[in-house]
A and B are shown apart, each in its own frame.
Chain A
Amino acid sequence: MSTKKTRGRGERGPLASAGLHSVLAVAAFVAAFPVAWVAYISLGAGEFDYQHPNRIAAHPSLANYDHVVNHTDFFTWLGNSTLIAAGTTVVGVLVAASAGYAVSRIRFLGRGTLMYTFLLTQMFPVSVLMVPMYKILADTKLLDTYGGLILVYCTTAVPYCAWLLKGYFDTIPVEIDEAGRIDGLNPFGTFWRLIIPLARPGLAVAAFYTFLTAWGEVAFASFFLLSSNHYTLAVGLQTFVSQFNSQWNYMAATGVLIAIPAAAFFYLVQKNLVTGLTAGGTKG
């Protein structure tokens, strides 16, 4: 599909233009349709409306949203999710950035090993880690706390982010560090006051990635959060559909409400997204 239309430099015939737009439009439709479908289903007030979608168009209503917002723990879940996702983003990006910077700038022992270990941690299946992690969290009194879950999310998000940011720091000339050193900054000062501001696009991507990791995660959250007032949105959502009831309509409405902050966050960082990913991708 791509190969035929690669690189028509300069002008492009009207036929090629139409072809290009139709391929992109079809792809965009496929990408957006399931998301739009949830939004559509959420407008059906009846419990079984999802099985008869054509009924919904006749009586769209916001009753589901009303129920979810006013009669469930939605705001508790939202608060928990926001806190955990924000915490993971801040802690994860900071930790990943400092490690990425160290590995990028300095040829010290164990540098290759560290990067390889980052990759290695991506290979562990969750099932091996779950129970030992549970024990460690219980032993350190971090089970069922925000802090514990934030640390667990860091283990999944930090390796990729450190590696991505290392690539980004590689593109920032070393002369900048040296200039900072000459002006009397210590290594941490150089990192914090010179490099971090320059690495903003890379940090935006890392932040986006970390935020999404924490915002949408289900498995760890449902395993490590025990009390219902600590539930995140992802865990709370599961309570609508259990073996006793299947309130898909509420689930759909909650789904839409969850998607909005994620989409908004994406919109904020999207300008940086492509440049940030490039740098991360090109430098191993």
Chain B
Amino acid sequence: MTVAAPAEAATPRRTEEKPPKQAGPLRRLRRSYDQYWYAWAMCAPVVVILGVLVGYPLVLGIMYTFTNATSLNVGHTIGVNHIPDTFSWVGLKQYVDILSGPDNQFWPHFWWTIIWTVSCVAITVSLGLGLAVLLNRQVRGRTLYRTLLVLPWAVPTFVTIFSWRLLLSDGGAVNHLLGSLGLGQPEWLSNPFWQKIAAITVNVWVGVPFMMLSMLGGLQAIPGELYEAAEMDGASPWQRFRNVTLPGLRPVSSTVILLGVIWTFNQFIVIFLLFGSTNSDSVQILVTYSYQLFFGQNPMDYAGAATVGVLCLSILVVFTEFYRRWIRRMQGEQA
């Protein structure tokens, strides 16, 4: 990955001579193999596992998007009888149907997914950074705070989401608290608007510890002399944060933000476990919507689900490409 190119360039690197530029691709491959056969061997297990279990399904999934495959016409085996594939090619019909079809389900889910991703990542990153900055100072009981703050990550998600369901239910603890403060008691798990607020809140709660620990690691890698120098020059705390901390964190933050966007965009489990599959259509993001196309109806709409999935993938690929370019440009300006 070239997200942090300068950092990579700074690391000590094997100084063997590079293959001459004029050598043909085949000879380069051959040379590279002779020299680094063990590297290829070490990468082989990953490549095989990912190739078989992710690469092949993906190719199959992309293929399904050009067909009308459902659970009825895809080849399957019942007992000893094998029923062959009977679905047919329909070209781009699935894409046209989903993007401009009569049920018009895609675009509302799409916009909500964007809002969901942006707000979750923005809040998670700022809270994670804030807590990391606080924890990076000399505080009594730092280990205790750190341990408590990491709990949402350390305890399996399905346990904590289950707890949130209890807390957010109509007569749950959150509404008790709000009631005793004289505030409104929204129906967190059934009102479309409050469902969205609840989903973002819970996802932020789950995501902050990872951000916090990553940022804390990044902060500890910033040399203290930089702060001393800034202080000598009379920089205010805000200026030190703005001009020393943030640039120093950039290698870490640029990567975790990218990962955060990808993970949040595809965050399946939070929404799935928090709301189940009934009475929650407007809060479904593209991934869970695609899952509903899949399991929520009979026959299961393989082609529709795969099409939504491929659209998700394309959105993320395009985003990643722009993001990496943007990061590279920013680093170029700095250098």
Chain A contacts to B: CB under 8 angstroms? 1-9, 12, 20-21, 23-25, 27-28, 30-32, 34-35, 37-38, 41, 50-51, 53, 95-96, 98-99, 101-103, 105-109, 112, 114-133, 135-136, 138, 151-152, 154-155, 158-160, 162-163, 170-171, 173-175, 186-188, 191, 212, 215-216, 218-219, 234, 237, 248, 251-252, 255-256, 258-259, 262-263, 265-267, 270, 273-279, 281-284
A-B contact pairs, 13 of them (CB 8 A): A1-B130, A34-B163, A41-B166, A98-B46, A121-B54, A127-B287, A128-B61, A212-B154, A267-B147, A278-B221, A281-B255, A282-B4, A284-B254
Q: Does B200 interact with chain A (Cβ within 8 Å)? A: no
Q: Which residues of A contact B137 (CB under 8 A)?
A: 7-8, 12, 20
Contact with A along B298-335 (1 / 0, CB 8 A): 00001001101110110011001000000000000000
In contact, A35 and B57 (Cβ under 8 angstroms): no
Min Cβ gap B253→A in Å is: 8
Q: Are A219 and B272 in touch, CB under 8 angstroms? A: yes
Residues of A within 8 A of B52 (CB): 136
Q: Are A266 and B154 in contact (CB under 8 A)?
A: yes
Nearest chain-A residue to B209 (Cβ)? A31
B268 to A125, Cβ gap below 8 A?
yes
In the complex, which residues 195-244 of chain B have their Cβ closer than 8 Å to any Cβ of chain A? 205, 208-209, 213-214, 216-218, 220-221, 227-228, 231, 237-238, 240-241
B294 CB–A CB distance under 8 Å:
yes
B153-169 interface code vs A (CB 8 A; 1 in, 0 out)? 11111111011101100
Q: In the bound complex, what is the Cα–Cα distance between A199 and B311 (angstroms)?
A: 39
Which residues of chain A have C-beta atoms less than 8 A from B160's C-beta? 34-35, 38
Check B42 against A131 for contact (C-beta < 8 Å).
no
Whether B14 lies near A281 (C-beta < 8 A) is no
Could you say which of B74, B153, B252 contacts A278, with CB atoms under 8 Å apart? B252
**Residues in B lying within 8 Å of A, measured CB to CB:** 1-5, 7-8, 11-14, 18, 28-29, 32, 35-36, 38-40, 42-43, 45-47, 49-50, 52-54, 56-58, 60-61, 74, 77, 126, 129-131, 133-135, 137, 139-140, 144-160, 162-164, 166-167, 171, 173, 205, 208-209, 213-214, 216-218, 220-221, 227-228, 231, 237-238, 240-241, 245, 251-252, 254-256, 258-259, 262-263, 265-266, 268-269, 272-273, 286-287, 290-291, 293-294, 302, 305-306, 308-310, 312-313, 316-317, 320
Residues of A within 8 A of B11 (CB): 170-171, 283
Least CB distance from A30 to B in Å reads 7
**Closest 4 A/B residue pairs (Cβ):** A216-B156, A278-B217, A128-B309, A132-B57
CB distance from A100 to the nearest CB of B (A): 9
* Residue from A103, A125, A133 within 8 A of B53 (CB atoms): A133
Q: Which of B5, B131, B216, B263 contacts A274 (CB 8 A)?
A: B216
Out of B4, B7, B268, B302, name the residue touching A131 (CB < 8 Å): B302
Query: Is A21's CB under 8 angstroms from B139's CB?
Result: yes
Q: How far is the CA of A171 from the CA of B305 in the complex (A)?
A: 43
Q: Are B252 and A281 in touch, CB under 8 angstroms?
A: yes
Q: How far is B4's CA from A283's CA once the two chains are assembled, in angstroms?
A: 6
CB A131 to nearest CB in B, in angstroms, measures 6
Q: Which of A28, A125, A276 contacts B149 (CB 8 A)?
A: A28
CB-based nearest B residue for A122: B262
Contacts of B256 in A (CB 8 A): 281
Q: Is the CB of A122 within 8 A of B291?
A: no
CB contact under 8 A between A277 and B213, given known A6-B133, A262-B155? yes
- A284 in contact with B2 given A34-B164, A191-B42, A262-B154 (CB within 8 Å): yes
**Known contacts A31-B148, A123-B312, A125-B266; can you find 13 more A-B pairs with CB under 8 A?**
A95-B46, A108-B32, A108-B35, A108-B36, A124-B266, A132-B61, A152-B53, A162-B46, A175-B12, A187-B38, A216-B156, A274-B213, A278-B214
